[in-house]
Amino acid sequence: MKLNDYLFRNNRRKFLKNFSLALGSAAFATPLVSMALGDSQQNKKKLGIALVGLGRYSKGQLAPALQKTENCYLAGIVTGTPSKAKEWQKKYNIPEKNIYNYENFDEIANNPDIDIIYVVLPNAMHAEYTIRAAKAKKHVICEKPMATSVEDCQRMIDACNENNVSLSIGYRLHFEPHNQRVMELGQQKVYGPVQTIEAADSFVIDDPSRWRLDKELAGGGPLMDLGIYCVQGAIYTVGETPTSVTASFGKVTKPEFFDEVEESISWQMQFPGGAVANCTSSYNNDANRLYGKAANGWWELSPAYSYSGIKGKTSEGPMNIPNVEQQARQMDGIAQSIKQNKFSRVPGEMGLRDVRVLMAIYEAARTGKRVTV
């Protein structure tokens, strides 16, 4: 085994032994030895990111945010639509050599301009392209949910470990100051031990052709897409992984839309410290809230998970925290961890944990029984 490989594996083994997967963002600041970047690349002012999949999120959020980042920049794109390639090339001045399609994607291994591959594809495609990116020796950011099965999550982690590249999940709210304040209030017991959490994230889907309604592509309905924010919010409020869950599916009111995935779902998570989280998610409602109650006070974010306009208050008054460019902070934070050889704040192990919780919630809803996580 090469020295670099040994250092990476040994440091990672020590890290995984000593950290708790349940903790909030502060838990993931332990140094990481990553050998995917040579000295010259580590000293680059900005790392090059290639976006894989040019849908709404890439177009509306990630690409504009990459015009405001300090540690990374939009270096390349991967798309199966030639017209999109031309549009993006012109708009963002992307060199022809940094434009790929899904057939020649693996050739990205030979491109020194690209350091990080950001997988922004339908959920069921996350595993394939994360693994291919890892084999190309590129660091990876994968959108949430990490994958549609626990097994795929583990394969993704294994591939990145084997190729000595970092794997991060697109959990932007770990870089958002209102949600960071919730982590502090709950985990540091500012108002005493957390007793109850309420989390809801829903929106109305009005187009039955959306890929999110295709179970093969999405892996599930609003729980996978929106409910994961509630799972995350509850976990980083208390800094613990739930021990068990109960759940139930909501009534289907639009069978022409929801013949493959759930329309809505409600669930409860029990935490080892005694806190209980009551959560809901739907594709036929509007909700966006994270509330916590402790022994001596409470706090609330509403909206809690939006790309902008997040507002917070506590039992003492408004939080008075400014909004930020969330995606820019997220990508800058991840790029900085790579440049500084530190562990990602939002590592693949966190994504695996969350998918395991999601699968337990689905099992609980199907069986009507309490399921141990």
Peptide bond into 303 cis (omega under 30): yes
From the candidates 144, 236, 305, 339, give the one annotated as an active-site residue: 144
Judge whether 68 counts as a catalytic residue.
no
Look up 369 and say whether it is catalytic: no
Give alpha helix (H) positions in the chain. 3-18, 39-42, 56-57, 63-65, 82-92, 126-135, 150-162, 177-187, 215-218, 222, 228-238, 326-339, 348-367
According to DSSP, the residues that pair with 189 across neighbouring strands are none
**Which residues have C-beta within 8 Å of that of residue 123, sequence separation ≥ 6?**
145, 147, 148, 217, 218, 219, 224
345, 32 contact by CB (below 8 A)? no
Q: What angle do CA 350, 324, 293 make, to 5 degrees?
A: 60
Kindly name the residue from 100, 229, 283, 362 that is annotated as catalytic: 229
If one counts every other C-beta atom within 10 angstroms of the C-beta of residue 254, the result is 14
Which residues fall within 8 angstroms of residue 142, CB to CB, at 6 or more apart?
A: 118, 119, 126, 130, 156, 167, 168, 169, 170, 348, 351
Which two tokens mark 99? Answer: 């434009």
Contacts of 43 (CB under 8 A, 6+ apart): none
User: Cα(332)–Cα(118) distance, rounded to whole angstroms?
Assistant: 13
For the annotated catalytic residues, the residue numbers are 144, 229
